[in-house]
A and B are shown apart, each in its own frame.
Chain A
Amino acid sequence: MSVRTTRLVVEREVREAARRKGIWALVAFTFLGSMALVLLPELLPDGGDDGASVMIVGDDELGVTAALEAMTDPELEVSVGDDRGELETAIADDQVDVGVVLGDPPIVVAEDVDASIVGVVSDVIADRVVAARLTEVGIDPAEVRAAFADALPTVEPIDAERGAKRAAGFLVSMVLYLLTVILTSQVASGVAVEKSNRVSEVLLAIVPPRSLLFGKVIGVGCIGLVTLIAAATPVVVKYVAGGDLPSGLGPTLLASSIWFVGGLALFLTLAGSLGALVSRQEEAGSVVVPLTMILVVGYLTALSAGDSVVGAIMAYFPLTSPMVVPYRVAVGAGSTFEYVVSAILLFGAVVLAARVGAVVFRRAIVRTGRRLKLREVL
C-alpha cells in the first residue's frame, strides 16, 4: 500500500470535512454536552439541607426553639412568629421552609411535606415531647436516649457512587454509540458516492484500491477522534485542575479511547468495503444496516445488562466489545484479564477486517450497475 497516496486521500477527506458545517455542529454539540456534564455539579446548590429556616409560634414550654437552634447538621435558622396566619404567609412567600405550631398536639406546617427538613423538625419536637413525658413519670430522658443510640443499627451504603458510575457509563456509551453510527454510515455513503459518480474509476487509475479504502477510513476516523477529543477536553482539564469529577468518568474515558479507536477502525473498515457493494448512494444506508443493528445490540446490552453475564460474554466479541467494555469499566464490572483479552481480540479483528475488506472493496468497486451480494466478491 502506498503511504503517500493514502496520506493524500486522508488529507482530502479531512480538509473537505472541515468545510462542512455539520461536522462542526457535531463537534460543538459534544463539547458543550461535556462542558455541561463537568460544570453543572459546580453550579447546582449542594442539596437543600443548608440554610433551612423554621418559624415557631405558640408557647414553647418544651424548649423546642432551643433544641432546633442547637442543631448543627443541618443548621437551622429559627425565628419566632406571632400566630399561625403569619407563619403560613411566611411559608407561602418562601421566607421560611417549615413552620411549627406548638400546642397539644404540636403541628408541623410545610409546603413540601416530604422534605427531609420536615422529618428533622418532627424528630426534634417528638424528642422534646417524649422527654417531657418521661420526666413526668420519673425516668431520665438521657438514659433512654443512650439506650436508643446503642440499639439503632448503623446504616452503611455499599457503593455510594454506584449511581454516578452508571451515569458516567451511560453518557460515554451514548456518545460512542452515536458517533460510531454516524461515522459508519458516513464512510459507507462516501464510498457509494465515489463509486456511483465514478470518482473511484478515475482514482483507481492512479492509486491502489487499498489507499482509497483506508484513506477514507482513516480520514473519517480522524473526524471521529476530533469529536472525541472535544468531548474529553473539559473532563481532562477539570481532572488536571483537581476538580471533582463524576465518579468513574476518568477510567471510563481512558477505556473508551482504546475501544473507541479499535471499534471505529473495525466498523469503518467494514462499512467502507460494504459501501463498495452498492451502485447508488441511496442504497448505502441499507448496506450498513447489519452493522448498525450490531451496534444497537451492543449499546442496549451495555445500558441494560452491561454488568451481567450477557455483558461479560459480549465484552469478548470484537463487534460488541466497543460498546460494552467502556460501560463495564465505568461500573467496574470486568476484570483486567477480560479487558486485555477483549482488546487483543478487537485489534486482531481489525487486522482481519482490513485484509478481507480490502479484497471486497477492490473487487466490488469496479462492478457497477446493480447491488452486489457479499459472496459474489469473496
Chain B
Amino acid sequence: MTLSVRGITQSFEHRTVLDGVDLEVQPGTITGLLGPNGAGKTTLMRIVFGVLDPLGGEVRWNGRPVTDADRRRWGYMPQERGLYREMRVHDHLVWIARLYGIDRREAGDRADDLLGRLGLADRARDAICDLSGGMSQRVQLAVAMVHTPELLVLDEPFAGLDPTAVEFLSDVIRDHVARGGHLVFSSHQLDLVEHLCESIVLIDRGRVVLRGTLRELRAASTDRFLRVDADVADDWVAGAGVTRLDRSARGTRLLLPPGADAATVLDDVRRHTSVSDFGVEAPTLSELFLAATGRDVAETDAETAT
C-alpha cells in the first residue's frame, strides 16, 4: 500500500498555497515533509485527510482514489493540540476510539496499552489541561494511534519539544514504521529531523524544491563546508575566495568555493587562531534549502512569524 498525492493545487482568496505538489509515502519509510513556516505543509496534510478539498490533484491510497473509509484507518495529529482540554486523558482516548467504531471494552484496553507505552499510565485520570506541553503532546499522539492506523500523519510533531521529548517521539515514529506502517510528518526544523527522515520532500511557497533521501540530496550537491571550532573573521579567508561563513557557539562553517582546497583555507584560519577540531562536510538540509531557494529557512520563518 502506498499513499500517493498527485499534483495538489490549492489557493485561498486568490493566493496560491499549493502548486502541483506530489508526495509518495511508502510503508516502512519515514517520510518528512519539510519546509519553512507558510510553505503549505499543513494545508497539504489537511487535504490528505479530507478536511479540505483541493482545487486540483488527487489523493490515492493503494492505487485508487482515497475514500472516507480508508481515511478512518489513518491517524492524524494536527500542529495545534486538538484535544478537549477539560476531558480526562483516559476518557478522551476511549471516546476517540469509539468514534472509530471500536467497542467500549476494546477501546478501554487500547487506551490502557497506549498510555502505558507512552509513559502516561499514572496520568490517565487527570484532565488534559493539567498536563505539561510534552505530556499533552503524547496524549495527542495516542489519539492519533488509538485505532492502530495504517498511516500516521503528524503535523509539526517536534515543535516546542525538549530534546528528551524529541528523542521519545523519534522512537515512537521509528517503531511505527518498523512495524510496516506508513508515516509522514512535517517540520520546519530541518536540521533537527534530517537524520530521522528516510525520504525527504522539501517544499517552499507551495512548490516541491527538492526530494529524495538525505544521502541522495547531499550527493547531488557539490557544496562542501569546512567546519572549524573557532570564530573566523571574514578577512582571514577572503583571499581563498570564501564568502559565506556561518558562526555559531560551536564554531564556524565556511562554504568552500568550487575548486578550493580545504587544507589551504584551514591554513589561512590557523594563521590567526588555533583550531583543535575541524572537518569537511556535506551541506545540511537547511543549507540545501538555501542553495535551492536562495532563502534561509530561519529567516523565512521569521518573516512569516511577523
Give residues in A with beta carbon < 8 Å to B: 4-5, 8, 12, 16, 19, 194, 197-207, 366
Which 3 pairs show the lowest CB-CB distances between chains A and B? A198-B82, A202-B82, A198-B80
Inter-chain contacts of B236 with A (CB < 8 A): none
* Size range of the chain B interface in the assembly: 20 to 34
Give Cα A19 to B86, complex, Å: 10
Q: What is the interface of chain B mostly: helix, strand, loop, or mixed?
A: loop
Known contacts A12-B95, A16-B84, A206-B100; 11 additional CB pairs below 8 A are A4-B101, A5-B99, A12-B87, A19-B86, A197-B80, A198-B79, A198-B80, A199-B83, A201-B78, A203-B82, A207-B99
Among the 9-residue stretches B44-52, B242-250, B269-277, the one with 4 or more Cβ atoms under 8 Å from chain A is: B44-52
Contact with A along B66-86 (1 / 0, CB 8 A): 000001101011111111111
Inter-chain contacts of B98 with A (CB < 8 A): 8
Q: Which of A19, A200, A202, A366 has the most CB of B within 10 A?
A: A202
- Asked if B143 lies at the interface with its beta carbon under 8 angstroms from chain A, I say yes
Task: Give chain B nearest CB distance to A159 CB in angstroms.
Answer: 51
A204 touches B86 (CB 8 A): no
26 residue pairs A–B, Cβ–Cβ below 8 Å: A5-B99, A8-B95, A8-B98, A12-B95, A16-B84, A16-B86, A19-B86, A197-B80, A197-B81, A197-B85, A198-B78, A198-B79, A198-B80, A199-B84, A201-B76, A202-B76, A202-B78, A202-B82, A202-B96, A203-B82, A204-B49, A205-B51, A205-B71, A205-B76, A206-B72, A206-B99
Give Cα A197 to B87, complex, Å: 14
A201 touches B46 (CB 8 A): yes
Of all chain A residues, the one with the shortest Cβ separation from B76 is A205
Give residues in B with beta carbon < 8 Å to A: 46, 49-52, 71-72, 74, 76-87, 95-96, 98-101, 143-144
Task: Give chain B nearest CB distance to A108 CB in angstroms.
Answer: 69
A202 touches B71 (CB 8 A): no
Which of B46, B72, B82, B101 is in CB contact (< 8 Å) with A197?
Answer: B82
Q: Which of A5, A197, A201, A207 has the most CB of B within 10 A?
A: A201
Give Cα A4 to B77, complex, Å: 23
Inter-chain contacts of A206 with B (CB < 8 A): 72, 96, 99-100
Which of A4, A199, A201 is in CB contact (< 8 Å) with B51?
Answer: A201
Q: Which of A199, A203, A366 has the most CB of B within 10 A?
A: A199
**CB within 8 Å for A201 and B82 given contacts A16-B87, A366-B46:** yes
Of all chain B residues, the one with the shortest Cβ separation from A376 is B13
Of all chain B residues, the one with the shortest Cβ separation from A365 is B51
B101 touches A366 (CB 8 A): no
**CB within 8 Å for A202 and B101 given contacts A16-B84, A197-B80:** no
